[in-house]
Structure 1
Amino acid sequence: MSVQDKIVEIIAEQAVLEPSDVSLEMGIEELGLDSMGLVETVFAIEENFDVSVPFNANDPSASDFDVSSVQSIVTAVEGLIAAKSA
């Protein structure tokens, strides 16, 4: 399973959606994730990929981890994985 597919699966689970209902262009609000759902998503990503996400739950816009869309989350996680293996 690719990084993208696993992240879509995690986000779908947190948003109580089918993975097929999640598109890369969707934003967090569009998915119906509240701040707690977003935090749970970040924890699940950290656990699944063994990375540490630099995320400020109180102010996601002040974070180095872009949560503006599913694609931005995928890109950020791929970057964390690459940095970890470098």
Structure 2
Amino acid sequence: MSDEVTEKMRAIIAEQAVLDPSEVSMDATLDDLGIDSLGLVEAVFAIEEEFDVQVPFNANDPQDSQFDISNVQSMVNAVKQLVAAKPA
């Protein structure tokens, strides 16, 4: 089952991992995909720009962020929540 947010997120993550979006599985971690901390920060910027949202991410302490980066699916779910919470 595919949707627009999921496909855009897979494309953003794939770009950072230098992969085709079809190679980005939903249960993959950023480590699995070879995305380092700089790639994660760039992905967060791309997410903010693409979806016009503020991602609650602390680059200095990613584990303390309110943005779940444990795997691709959790990131997609978090972005869906941010998009749904945007003022109309």
Q: What range describes the TM-score normalised by the shorter chain of this pair?
A: over 0.9
State the 4+ residue runs in structure 1 displaced beyond 3 angstroms.
none
| Shift, 1:58, TM fit | 1.6
Name structure 2 gaps, 5 residues minimum. none
* Aligned counterpart for 1:58 among listed residues 50, 55, 60: 60
Residues 30-56 of structure 1, C-alpha deviations (whole Å, 9 max, x = no match): 110000000000000000000000101
User: Among the aligned pairs, what percent are the same residue?
Assistant: 63
Name structure 1 gaps, 5 residues minimum. none
RMSD of aligned C-alpha atoms?
Answer: 1.1
Rounded to whole Å, the distance in 2 between the matches of 1:42 and 1:11 is 9
| Shift, 1:3, TM fit | 0.1
Instruction: Return the TM-score normalized by structure 2.
Output: 0.93
* Aligned counterpart for 1:6 among listed residues 5, 8, 13: 8
Counterpart mapping for 1:1-86 below 5 A: 2-85=4-87
Matched residue count: 86
